[in-house]
Structure 1
Amino acid sequence: MWRNRNVWIVLIGEFVVGLGLWAGIIGNLAFMTEFVASDFHKSVILAIGMLAGVIVAPLAGKIIDASSKKKVLIGSSIARVITVFVMFAAIAFDSVLLMIVFLILLQIAATFFMPAIQSIIPKIVDKKDLLSLNGWHMNARTLSRIVGAASAGLFVAYVDLIWLYVVSLIMYAVVLVTLFFLHIDESIVESKTQKKESSSFKEVLPVLKQYPVVLVTLVLIVVPILFLGSFNLMIMKIAQMHDSTSISGLLYTVEGVGFMLGAIAVKYLGIRMKTGTMMFSLALLIGVLQSLLFFSTIEIMNVVIFAVFGFAVGCFFPTTMTIFQKQMPAEYHGRFFAFRNMIDQTLFQLVLLSTGALLDWFGLPITGLAFGLFSLMLTIFFMLYLKSKKYSLAFE
């Protein structure tokens, strides 16, 4: 796998585009701090960008399935480069409106880019290497988040804001150039049948019913999202409970390190365990970890929970991605991954809002216990569901 040039292009591209993305995110926060006083207004502005991605996702999936995925990647990368100039204008004119346009356009570009990358991965490696490559792909994204956020945070303290977007522009341009060296087999049979199959985003839903394993896996993603969607709120609550700001940095660190170790270890776990067994085991483990937040008043318990959670999620997402890539027919990959990303973004928003309310009403221990019990019941229900359909839980 490591001798495959396409693998390096995908991994380096993911890391570099992440650096550009996080430089832009830190820049956006700094810009809003200066021109937007209300925290609620800031959250609305950020939500508008995500909403644009949800709206465009059906079109993105349809185009990805009907077109060359390499061309979609190049097109969305060109759009990213052009979009940065909108932010240059926003800074020049101190315009929040132009910044909103920038966020919308950037999210739309990402809505095309991410499903196309996820559709390409099964085309560049053998099936036996899918789990490993998905793990390293997650690691590249996590490493870019750590390096990008830390570097941009330091950078913005010493230079003008516009230079963060110059860095973003350079990173996006580098990714654009590397994509031209991507070589994949995208031979498309121009039959009427295939054209019909690629015609509608809505056709993904009936297909899901034919593949119960894919449907179950898609629903079980709710389990880690309950934790991830409320991640920042929970860490702020823990810091408040223990009257310590240093614990926040510690929890972010142990979770990030755990995630990277999990994404590496998933390859070796995959040798010893069937993919289905691993997914259900990890979902149960995450449910237990959420329940253990009932003991969040114990400081060391939080460190252990977040470290193990990072490891579990680092294993979980490459595992589920491998299931999707293997079980879902290739001709539906673009629309399916666009649909999956749309669901993820919607769930993140719902979890964020509901967690805020639950933390205000009941506090972290009860909220964590409620999330944990829900996750455990959901996982056990779908284990029983697959068994009732005569499916083995130890599927590949």
Structure 2
Amino acid sequence: MQTFLFIWLGQIVSLFGSSLSEFALAVWVYQTTGSITHYALLSLFIHLPSLFISPFAGAMVDRWSRRRVMIVSDSITGVTAFAVMLLVFSGQLQVWHIYIAVGISSVCNAFQWPAYTSAIPQLVPVQHLSRANGMVQGAIATARILGPSIAGLLIIKIHLHGVLLVDFGTYLFGLLTLLSIKFPRREKKITRHKTSIEELWQEVVSGWNYVVIRSGLRKLTIFFGVIYLSAGVLQVLFLPMVLSFASEKELGIVMSVSGIGMLLGSVTVSLWGGTKRRIEGILIFAFIQGLCLCLGGFKTAVVLAAIGGFGYLFSRAVIVSLNHTIWQQKVPQDLQGRVFALQNMMEKSLLVITHLSAAPLVEFMFKPLMSENGMLASSVGRIIGVGDGRGMALLFVLMGLLNIGAVLVAYRTPELRRVERELPDADRFGVDNTESDNTAAC
């Protein structure tokens, strides 16, 4: 556990630096170009490279030392940050430089995240997995809360090049923590021979097959598709929905309260460890998430938006931590990189889909429906109101009801409800090849 705590400390510092530079670069792009399109393209470059490379990255993570993957990923990302910093100092930074830089960082993240997540069972006793996953979520929450606010102050005081210098320093700190310790040796010998594209693809497929042939894990994946979809809608529309009835200052309060919810949820899991049957905890807090989405869209009130955001992100920290623990216990160590990479790909895919579709959906469908003379003004409008922002509110309510419906269906699905009891804990270093071979042959 001590080794994990040391790595966790390095990663939380590195995450904080990434949050600083991501915010600062986004501000620079918008201020330099004045273009929403360029600003939106930055988000795509952050997500798309990781999305496309994730399946293959997971297979390679399972082949290599997780520690080495994390060291190489941190090194490349740090060098990239240093190169951008030099461009700023020389006055030659262009927008396309930033697109390339965040694209490289996105590729590195596709390797870093599954390596980090699948390394946790190597470093932490089984009984403390939920606590460790809660600490990881807490690190993410801390970076999200403190990063943008501190970056905003640093841009004024030390400008973009200063922020990038701080970011480079955080990468060095994270790298030094990894270099100064050793991971416990994996019992299964790591494959080191050269691999063809066909062999690598077969390894990617084997990770997918492991999930597909186990009904409980397959249905858990589908259930989390709904969770990730609602998270994508929240990420895209929560800010403009709140701004439709609140001031910028009130928005800042709502966002801060929501971020504190995720941090407290992470701390709660870290101290509590979660429910004995983790799937029950997931279903309970997913139901709460649905209620919070409905609450956030129910009325034009800052208090309700803050409570909804707090409850949603508090629940998300618990849900993600418990979900990771289930997969870490039910999937063999030498497949976890692939499985977590596939989950990352699914989450990023739904995030990109919501980024591309949520705004047009609201603009051309939900907004007209909830206008003062809209089709739903005299029915739904009497409950949640009509006019500016109420189309987004309606979508939030529908996503909340979708979450609640998914929980009810999940509870009525025995394979999912009993996934922890019916699926034995995996051999941490081996795979049941019989099932996988049979599946491949079908």
The answer to whether the Cα contact below 8 Å between 2:296 and 2:309 also exists between their aligned partners in 1 is no
CA drift at 1:263:
1.5
In structure 2, what is the Cα distance between the partners aligned to 1:119 and 1:202? 18
Cα deviation, 1:227-276, whole Å, max 9, x if unaligned, reads: 43233543333433324222211211211111122122235665654111
Correspondence for 1:328: 331
Asked if structure 2 preserves the Cα contact closer than 8 Å seen for 1:254 and 1:310, the reply is: no
Corresponding letter in the other structure for 2:85? F
Cα offsets for 1:283-328 (capped at 9, x unmatched): 1221222223341323322222122112211211101111111112
Contact 2:286-2:407 within 8 A present in 1 as well: yes
Match of 1:365 in 2: 393
Cα distance, 1:221 vs. partner? 2.5
The corresponding residue for 1:9 is 6
Match of 1:237 in 2: 240
Return the offset for 1:281: 1.2
2:131, 2:105 → 1: CA distance?
29
**What pairs with 1:127-206 in structure 2 (closer than 5 Å)?**
127-190=126-189, 200-206=203-209
In the TM superposition, residue 34 of structure 1 has moved relative to its aligned partner by: 3.7
Give the count of matched residue pairs: 390
**Equivalent of residue 249 in structure 1, options 246, 252, 264:** 252
The secondary structure found in structure 1 opposite 2:396 is: helix
Q: CA deviation at 1:67?
A: 0.8
Over 3 Å counting, the alpha-carbon distance change for 1:88 and 1:246 in structure 2 is closer
Q: Percent identity?
A: 19
Letter in structure 1 aligned against 2:97: L
Task: State the Cα distance separating 1:121 from its structure 2 match.
Answer: 0.5
Task: State the TM-score, normalized to the length of structure 2.
Answer: 0.81
Any gaps of 5 or more consecutive residues in structure 1? none
Pairing 1:84–2:110 present = no
2:314 to 291, 311, 314: 311
Aligned equivalent of 2:22, options 21, 25, 28 = 25
Contact 2:278 2:326 in 1 (8 A): yes
Equivalent residue, structure 1, for 2:343 = 340
Post-superposition shift, 1:127? 0.9
The answer to whether the Cα contact below 8 Å between 1:69 and 1:120 also exists between their aligned partners in 2 is yes
User: 2:224 is matched with which residue?
Assistant: 221
In the aligned structure 1, how far is the partner of 2:188 from the partner of 2:230? 43
Q: Cα–Cα, structure 1 residues 298 and 393, in superposed 2: closer, same or farther, change >3 Å? A: farther
Paired with 2:45 and 2:225, the residues of 1 have a C-alpha distance of 22
Q: Give the partner amino acid of 2:117.
A: Q
Greater mean alpha carbon deviation, residues 107-116 or residues 226-235: 226-235
Q: Matched residues in 2 for 1:123 and 1:43: separation?
A: 38
- Map of 1:53 onto structure 2: 50
The letter for the 1-side match of 2:406 is L
Matched, 1:378 2:378: no
Question: Using the alignment, how far apart are the partners of 1:30 and 1:103 within structure 2?
Answer: 14
Paired with 1:347 and 1:253, the residues of 2 have a C-alpha distance of: 25
The one-character-per-residue Cα deviations of 1:322-377 (angstroms, maximum 9, x if unpaired) are: 11111122211111111111111111111233322333232123111211222222
Distance 1:258 1:186, change over 3 A: same
Aligned residue identity for 1:369: V
For structure 1, which segment, 43-52 or 309-318, has the greater mean C-alpha deviation from structure 2 after superposition? Answer: 43-52
- Once residues 167 and 42 of structure 1 are traced to their aligned partners in structure 2, the CA distance between those partners, rounded to angstroms, is 23
Instruction: Specify which of 60, 80, 92 is matched with residue 63 of structure 1.
Output: 60
Secondary structure (helix, strand or coil) at the match of 2:412 reads: helix
* Bigger radius of gyration: 2
User: For the residues of structure 2 that align with 1:50 and 1:236, how far apart are their CA atoms?
Assistant: 20
| TM superposition shift of 1:21 | 0.2
Q: What residue is the counterpart of 1:106 in the other structure?
A: 105
Aligned twin of 2:418: 392
Q: Judge conservation of contact 1:89–1:98 (CA < 8 Å) in 2.
A: no
- The correspondence for 2:263, drawn from 257, 260, 264, is 260
Letter in 1 for 2:7: V
- Of 24, 36, 43, 1:39 maps to 36
- Secondary structure, aligned partner of 2:158: coil
Following superposition, the deviation at residue 129 of structure 1 comes to 0.3
Contact 1:20 1:171 in 2 (8 A): yes
Work out whether residues 88 and 165 of structure 1, in 8 Å CA contact, stay in contact via their aligned partners in 2: yes
CA contact (8 A) 1:355 1:367 kept: no
**In 2, are the aligned partners of 1:262 and 1:315 still within 8 Å (CA)?**
yes
- Residue 180 of structure 1 deviates from its aligned partner by 1.4
- Residue 377 (structure 2) aligns with: none
CA distance in 2, matches of 1:303, 1:383: 29
Contact 1:135 1:263 in 2 (8 A): yes
Find the aligned partners of 2:277 and 2:327 in 1 and give their Cα distance.
15
Q: How many angstroms apart in 1 are the aligned matches of 2:289 and 2:118?
A: 27
TM-score norm. by structure 1 comes to 0.90
Contact 1:135 1:264 in 2 (8 A): yes
- Matched residue type, 1:261: L
Confirm or deny: 8 A CA contact 1:383 1:393 kept in the other structure. Answer: no
Which residue identity lines up with residue 12 of structure 2 in the other structure? F
Name the CA distance, whole Å, in 1 between partners of 2:240 and 2:161: 33
Give the conservation status (yes or no) of the 8 Å contact 1:80–1:106.
Answer: yes
Secondary structure of the structure 2 residue equivalent to 1:221: helix
Question: Deviation digits for residues 91-119 of structure 1, max 9, x if unmatched?
Answer: 33232222221111111111111110001
- Offset from partner CA, 1:27-66 (integer Å, 9 cap, x none): 2113212432320222123302321111221221111101
Q: Distance in 1 between matches of 2:226 and 2:76?
A: 34
Structure 2 CA distance for partners of 1:125 and 1:51, relative to 1, 3 Å: same
